[in-house]
Amino acid sequence: MYYKTTESLLAFIKKSPTAFQATAEMEKKFTENGYQLLSEQEYWKLQPGGKYIVTRNHSALIAFSIPKKECRKFHIIASHSDSPAFKIKENPEMRVENAYTKLNVEGYGGMLMAPWFDRPLSVAGRVVVRRDGSLKEELVNIDRDLVMIPSLAIHMNREANKGVSYNPQKDLLPLLGCGDSKPELLNIIAEELKVSTEDILAHDLFLYNRTEGTIWGADREFVSAPRLDDLQCAFASMEGMLAGKHEESIAVHCVLDNEEVGSGTKQGAASTFLKDTLRRINDGLGRTYEEYLMTLAGSFMISADNAHALHPNYIEKADPVNRPLPNGGIVIKYNANQKYCTDAVSAAKFKDLCDRAGVKYQTFVNRSDVPGGSTLGNISNTQVPMNTVDIGLPQLAMHSPYETAGVEDTGSFIRAAEEFFI
């Protein structure tokens, strides 16, 4: 069972090289399962028993289901669609010695740079094109090995294995071509989309790792793939949502964008996207603003963003006693300074949920002398305050272009999410 679930996760990740494709894949899956696509620019006609989906920026998505009977609480699982990567700059081609063509890129999010070297990479994202007299957003994925970032040979840097500080403007520029052809990226994009280069007016394009996901280990207990943070949680939330009964609460699957760069965008956790959607659900059911506030007070959110597993080579980096392991269960994340939302009430509710679902859980706390990062839970709570627990699935090599987790943990979260969306 674990392997089938993991293979489905890997298939989803392969189709989701950027947040735009991940959102499109989820939209497709929900509409195929009877969810009605809504537009923020149009009136919503909501009905008890209805299932709906709405997107913003084509990179953030909220699916929700309204029970047939009267219900005054939201059950929300929030994750994010983006991952650290290199974004293609405007006018990206750079000629070197009239021999090489490389691309000008900049870092998106806090990434481990070293693993980007010497891997087959390609380009994906969205472009805005002029078609039939109007502007249209279109997704693009150059589905072949297109570029690579070559390392400098050890012979030319004898200190390479003693620690290197990388300059992204010099060291991390991917190689596109060699010789007199002078390739241009937009020509390749235009050929893929069957438009003229002049009709491509703008783009949000990223490098992505072409190395496919794999299941490995002595007992096939590990899974490695690009973008496990946070597509593993987004996938599990989606599968749990589709499997849930949606009888006891208004079920909400929420996937926000730009978590890796602070969430401060119109489609991020600091935006009004979730709040606007919940308000429109409330209004669509004919309820007052006071009833909306009452509903929030009785609601619960699971902020799902992957967690650090104990590293086998760096055990000193972990807290002395809170040391999550792959396949050890869903990780409940704590922080005294409220970088994570978990408190006694939300932790108890989530532990009870896991017990009812029959899945394991474990805990993560940073070392007291190491500052931790935040996630989308505490940011989204500034817009929609409710009891919230921060959780994640344990992984190694977070923010590498190739991350590692346990094969059992995706299925565990799916079962917990299904129980949550009863």
- Counting every residue written for the chain, the total comes to 422
Quote the pLDDT of residue 371: 80
Mean pLDDT of 92-111: 96
pLDDT digits (tens, 9 = 90+) for 363-412: 999 999 988 777 888 888 989 999 999 999 999 999 999 999 999 999 99
pTM for the structure as a whole: 0.96
Beta bridge partners of 224: 214, 404
Quote the pLDDT of residue 2: 82
- What's the token pair of residue 45? 């006609």
pLDDT digits (tens, 9 = 90+) for 222-238: 999 999 999 999 999 99
Q: How far from 109 is each of 50, 128, 136, 287, 421, CA to CA, in Å? A: 37, 23, 27, 40, 32
Query: Is residue 123 very low, low, confident or very high in pLDDT (cuts 50, 70, 90)?
Result: very high
**Is pLDDT at 315 greater than 90 in this prediction?**
yes
Q: How far from 62 is each of 258, 282, 339, CA to CA, in Å? A: 15, 15, 24
Quote the pLDDT of residue 141: 98
Using alpha carbons only, give the angle 278, 284, 289 rounded to the nearest 5 degrees. 60
Quote the pLDDT of residue 99: 93
Question: Tokens 């926000």 label which residue?
Answer: 256
pLDDT digits (tens, 9 = 90+) for 13-49: 999 999 999 999 999 999 999 999 999 999 999 999 9
* Phi-psi group of 101: left, alpha or beta (phi > 0 → left; psi -120 to 50 → alpha; rest → beta): beta
How many Å apart are CA 122 and CA 91, to the nearest integer? Answer: 17
How many Å apart are CA 307 and CA 104, to the nearest integer? Answer: 32
From the CB of residue 6, how many other CB atoms can be counted at a distance below 10 Å? 25
Question: Tokens 């190395």 label which residue?
Answer: 211
Q: Same topology for domains 2-83+226-420 and 85-209, yes or no? A: no
Quote the pLDDT of residue 341: 92
**Is pLDDT at 1 greater than 70 in this prediction?**
no
Beta bridge partners of 102: 94, 175
pLDDT digits (tens, 9 = 90+) for 252-291: 999 999 999 999 999 999 999 999 999 999 999 999 999 9
For the chain, the domains span 2-83+226-420, 85-209
Q: Are 257 and 267 in contact (CB under 8 A)?
A: yes
How many Å apart are CA 300 and CA 385, to the nearest integer? Answer: 9
Quote the pLDDT of residue 289: 96
- Report the percentage of the chain scoring pLDDT > 70: 100
82 CB-near residues (< 8 Å, 6+ apart): 18, 19, 59, 108, 109, 257, 258, 259, 260, 261
Quote the pLDDT of residue 48: 95
Q: Are 122 and 147 in contact (CB under 8 A)?
A: yes
Which of the four CATH numbers 3.30.70.370, 2.30.250.10, 3.40.50.300, 1.20.1340.10 does domain 85-209 have?
A: 2.30.250.10
Mean pLDDT of 73-78: 97
Q: What CATH architecture is 2-83+226-420? A: 3-Layer(aba) Sandwich (3.40)
How many Å apart are CA 24 and CA 416, to the nearest integer? Answer: 24
